[in-house]
Amino acid sequence: MFRTRYTSIFGLALLMACQSTSTTESTDTPSETDAAQDTFMREGATVYFALTDRFNNGDPTNDESLGRQMNGAPLRSYLGGDLRGVIQKLEEGYFSDLGVNALWLTPPYENIHGYTNEGTGKTYGFHGYWPRDWTAIDANLGTMDDYRELVQKAHARGIRVILDVIINHTGPVTEADSQWPDSGVRTGPACTWEDPKRVIECTLVENLPDIRTESEEEVALPAFLVEKWKAEGRYEQEVAELDEFFAATGYPRAPKYYIIKWMIDYVKELGIDGFRIDTAKHTEASVWGSLYREAVKALEAWRKANPESPAATWDEEFYMVGEVYGYSLGHGLNYPYNDTASVNFYQEGFQAMINFDAKWAAKQPYETAFSAYNQMLPQGELTGLSTLNYLASHDDGGPFDKLREQPYLAANMLMLLPGAAQIYYGDESSRVLDASDLGADGDAHLRTPMNWEMIANNDSVAGEPVQEVLAYYQKLGQFRAAHPAVGAGVHQKMTDAPYTFSRTLADKDQVVVAIGEEIDEVSVAGVFADGVQVRDYFTGQAVTVADGKVVLPNYGPVVLLGED
């Protein structure tokens, strides 16, 4: 989508070497959150990312809100998924069964009402990245009460909620959607990518007005927004809150600070646990530092004001992960805009970067990938920080295994790579990322509806029953959830045959993993002492270490050993 300088971790590793399914309904009880509270570490989190409109339709009455119709190009209309549908899956235990401890949904706030054509046909803002009113939940997705309930029910299950933040741009201008005043946005020039100015002070695509984030000049609220708030009966309240925010912070009423205030409100009022930052490199890095500082204060205040929430006892800081398009683990702390200009986004409050390298790592032998990531994360430049690894996503046209022909390899790589793991909705159920049969074009291939019917029917994809693929992901996910060392620990290869490695997290947690065929015996010497009972999270059996090894009467294609 955007041009970038790309540095693969494997190139860096080579240089360094040369130099040296369950549908049981869950309940909101404290016992349900104990494991997640005790073991959560953001460095090894398991994040589930879903396009809300494509995930699950829990309320068909909102399917054609705000005058929208299902008349777009193939897979480019709103299709019915909503917050109520996500709540249903929370209640069913779907995310808990996968070991998910953080939930990232596409932006829930109100998007443009109309449609546009970026060259792939008539398209509505179903994806959430064309904002119109940051203060309201989009009617196609539900209500603010729905979002509040979703956050509460996620928290009751030990699941953190990540809000997708857009400050770079507004939505396109359409017959139904006015442009912000020129004092607040620019409509050109187009980005040309050769240096920071031409990546930041420019428009990403035609008809996507760019917020003037470099500006400290005060501007008035857009007239259409004032008119909307008045019609909804909340103008005075919104203006009073803005007055309070600007008086407390001392910020000028510049466009970026309006949006910062509106994003912070979700933390202040709902207890949002983290932000995923969209198009981070297309905005001055200092903007994210300002956003982060306000978020930290807001979350601390929310926890104090809501002692009855299980999330009030969580002691981790506010979480922020950035989409710096093209960032690779090999970039380390500094992302290069070109050969002479780079930025350390981690200095501006980010604890993690979305890692565009993982889909290439998945094509490497296990040890090549795991050891290279280990050199940068728990033992290297990014010690104490993290990356969010993915193999497929909503706007990466080159996903790993788009036809889902290697689901178990993909699962092993995604869930066992050092770092945090991003499950893109349908990774766990072999949702095919090719919709040519529906006439899809461009990123629509990546955004098909979640394949719930295929799961229910146990259909096969590339010869593999999807229920078996889902069960495989669930076992890996439960292992990650119980043992943060999987994602955050120090990696060490133990044996070649079967391929066996350990991950150790100081004196807090340790695991041993073996991958192969018909593994009935695994060496654990140096990790687990003789007499210690460990559990294989793949088969569920408990075994006792003897003579530096465990013998498994029942075995599968992977062994996942950890103490209960």
Domains of the chain by start residue, with CATH: 9-19+44-482 (3.20.20.80), 490-564 (2.60.40.1180)
**Spatial separation of the C-alpha atoms in residues 212 and 227, rounded to whole Å:** 23
Mean pLDDT of 116-142: 97
Q: Which of 12-16, 135-139, 173-177, 307-311 has the lowest mean pLDDT?
A: 12-16
Q: Which residue has the tokens 């202040």?
A: 268
How much is the pLDDT for 524?
Answer: 98
Give the model's confidence band at 32: pLDDT under 50 very low, under 70 low, under 90 confident, else very high. very low
Catalytic residue among 43, 278, 284, 509: 278
Query: Mean pLDDT lowest for which of 21-35, 96-110, 149-163, 223-237?
Result: 21-35
**Does residue 24 have a pLDDT over 60?**
no
pLDDT in tens, 77-111: 999 999 999 999 999 999 999 999 999 999 999 99
* Mean predicted confidence (pLDDT) in 122-147: 98
For tokens 């119709």, name the residue: 69
- Alpha carbons within 13 A on the beta-carbon side of 29: 5
Question: Which residue is listed with tokens 């046909």?
Answer: 121
Rounded distance between C-alpha atoms, residue 112 and residue 125, angstroms: 6
Three-state SS across 239-292?
Answer: HHHHHHHHHHHCCCCCHHHHHHHHHHHHHHHHCCCEEEECCHHHCCHHHHHHHH
Closest by alpha carbon to 35, among 526, 509, 552? 509
* Cα angle 313-314-319, degrees, rounded to a multiple of 5: 150
Q: pLDDT of 36-49, one tens digit each?
A: 445 789 999 999 99
Catalytic residue, chosen from 133, 210, 323, 428, is 323
The question of whether 64 is a catalytic residue gets the answer no
Residue 116, Ramachandran bin (φ over 0: left; ψ between -120 and 50: alpha; else beta):
beta
Residue 479's nearest CA partner among 543, 542, 419, 561 is 561
With bands split at pLDDT 50, 70 and 90, how would you rate the model's confidence at 517? confident
The tens digit of pLDDT for each residue in 243-256 reads: 999 999 999 999 99
pLDDT at 555: 84
Mean pLDDT of 307-329: 96
Give residue 518's pLDDT. Answer: 85
Using CA atoms, how far apart are residues 278 and 266, in angstroms rounded to an integer?
A: 16
Q: What is the pLDDT of residue 541?
A: 95
Model pLDDT, residue 507? 84
Beta strands, E only, 485-541: 490-495, 499-505, 509-515, 521-523, 533-536
Average pLDDT for residues 405-425, to the nearest whole number?
98
> Which whole number is the average pLDDT over 270-291?
98
Q: What is the pLDDT of residues 522-543, one digit of tens each?
A: 999 999 999 999 999 999 999 9
Give the span between the Cα atoms of 406 and 462, in whole angstroms: 8
Q: What span, in angstroms and rounded, lies between the C-alpha atoms of 36 and 152? A: 15
| Residue closest to 471 by CA, chosen among 455, 449, 453, 489 | 455
Mean pLDDT of 366-384: 95
Q: What pLDDT score was predicted for residue 22? A: 36
Q: Label residue 393 by pLDDT band (50, 70, 90).
A: very high
pLDDT at 38: 55
Is residue 278 annotated as part of the catalytic site, yes or no?
A: yes
Q: What is the pLDDT of residue 464?
A: 98
Residues 296 and 472: their CA atoms lie apart, in Å, by: 37
Strand-pair partners of 536 = 561
Burial 469-479 (b: 16+ CB within 10 A, else e): bbebbbbbbbb
Confidence of residue 133 (pLDDT cuts 50, 70, 90): very high
